[in-house]
Amino acid sequence: MSKKKVAESVLALLQRQQPHSSKFTSTDSTLLENTVPSVQSVRKLTKQKTQEPTAEVVQTQTVTPIEVPKVSITLPTIETVKAEPTIQHEWQKAPTLDILYSHIHTCMNCSLGATRLRFVFGVGSPNAKLLVIGEAPGEEEDKQGEPFVGRAGQLLTKMLEAINFTREEIYIANILKCRPPKNRRPTSEEVVECEPYLWKQIELLQPVVILALGLTAAETLFKQKVTMKDIRGNILLYKKIPTIITYHPAALLRNPEWKKPAWEDIQLVMRTYNSLIEKTNPEWKKTIKQ
């Protein structure tokens, strides 16, 4: 129906309902016609309404730039943070990493509990200001119960030593605490069960900077498909903590040409860390090892 006809119908209806009012004129009809939304615009509005996103379990947040002095920051729109669980379990109240470990090291919340050799909680200083996050334990980690051991772990240690961080002063953890068979990618069910343990570790550690290793870790943390080319070299926010993503050391062993950009990312970690601690603890500042 045309806008004109809609306007005329409305006027006729009004006239019937208010017979004693003065008669509506063609000018009124024109005025009303101009206020009646066209069928197309109604359809458009209806379409927009039906396109509104439905509520999701995952709560998304848009990353906003943070102020980090002397550090050039480019933030893609990327951060996704899953809603925090309400306190339901004893481990969620753990006041220290040791107590957290004692609560969760026998976890069987997903199928990986039955296939693991060792539970890989994490390693390092409880006072660490730099937290390194990987994806999940591999074969060697599963045997030793410690993240980032073996050749990839040795390379990570060397990369961090190059900016004067020792393994003892940082903290290293994975998103999953148990090894997926054949090092396959974690499933979303496994991440749902296990990632809250990492959140608790972050809450207890309160790191200044996070270094996330590998595309799978990045996608698991941020719940988005990304490419390493686009995501590396930036400072993102994971749980409001500046987070830098770079290549997994195992990938660097297979692709030595990626070592240069990875080294740039490691230096960005150092500059970000220095910028954030220099006002409170200038003596903690790091430099590139000569």
d(CA 149, CA 132): 13
Binding residues among 102-131 for ligand SF4 as defined by CB under 6 A: 107-110, 112-113
Q: In this complex, which beta carbon is closest to ligand SF4, that of residue 178 or of residue 205?
A: 178
Binding segment for ligand SF4 (CB under 6 A), chosen from 38-46, 90-98, 150-158, 189-197, is 189-197
**Could you give the 3-state DSSP secondary structure of residue 148?**
coil
Q: How far is the CB of 176 from ligand SF4 (least distance, A)?
A: 5
Tokens representing 129 are 């200001």
Kindly give the residue spans of alpha helices, DSSP state H, lying in the chain: 3-17, 26-35, 39-50, 97-104, 112-115, 139-144, 150-161, 188-205, 215-222, 228-231, 249-254, 259-277
Contact pick of 152, 178, 252, 266 for ligand SF4 (by CB under 6 A): 178
Q: In this complex, which beta carbon is closest to ligand SF4, that of residue 91 or of residue 258?
A: 91
**Looking at residue 185, what DSSP letter applies?**
P
3-state SS record for 3-39: HHHHHHHHHHHHHHHCCCCCCCCHHHHHHHHHHCCCH
Q: Are 76 and 230 in contact (CB under 8 A)?
A: yes
Q: If binding is defined by CB under 6 A, does position 236 make contact with ligand SF4?
A: no
Strands 236-238 and 241-246: antiparallel
Q: If binding is defined by CB under 6 A, does position 194 make contact with ligand SF4?
A: yes
Q: Are 171 and 205 in contact (CB under 8 A)?
A: yes
Q: How far is the CB of 89 from ligand SF4 (least distance, A)?
A: 12
Q: How far is the CB of 134 from ligand SF4 (least distance, A)?
A: 13
Q: If binding is defined by CB under 6 A, does position 177 make contact with ligand SF4?
A: yes
Q: In this complex, which beta carbon is closest to ligand SF4, that of residue 109 or of residue 267?
A: 109
Q: If binding is defined by CB under 6 A, does position 133 make contact with ligand SF4?
A: no
Q: Are 14 and 24 in contact (CB under 8 A)?
A: yes
Contact pick of 193, 201, 210, 247 for ligand SF4 (by CB under 6 A): 193
Q: In this complex, which beta carbon is closest to ligand SF4, that of residue 112 or of residue 228?
A: 112
Q: In this complex, which beta carbon is closest to ligand SF4, that of residue 116 or of residue 129?
A: 116
Torsion, CA 287, CA 221, CA 54, CA 57, rounded to 10: -120
Q: In this complex, which beta carbon is closest to ligand SF4, that of residue 198 or of residue 236?
A: 198
Using CB under 6 A as the binding criterion, the count of chain residues that bind ligand SF4 stands at: 12
Q: In this complex, which beta carbon is closest to ligand SF4, that of residue 10 or of residue 107?
A: 107
Q: How far is the CB of 248 from ligand SF4 (least distance, A)?
A: 19
Q: If binding is defined by CB under 6 A, does position 190 make contact with ligand SF4?
A: yes
Q: Enumerate residues 6+ apart whose C-beta is below 8 A from 75.
A: 63, 64, 65, 66, 234, 235, 236, 237
Contacting positions for ligand SF4 (CB under 6 A): 107-110, 112-113, 176-178, 190, 193-194
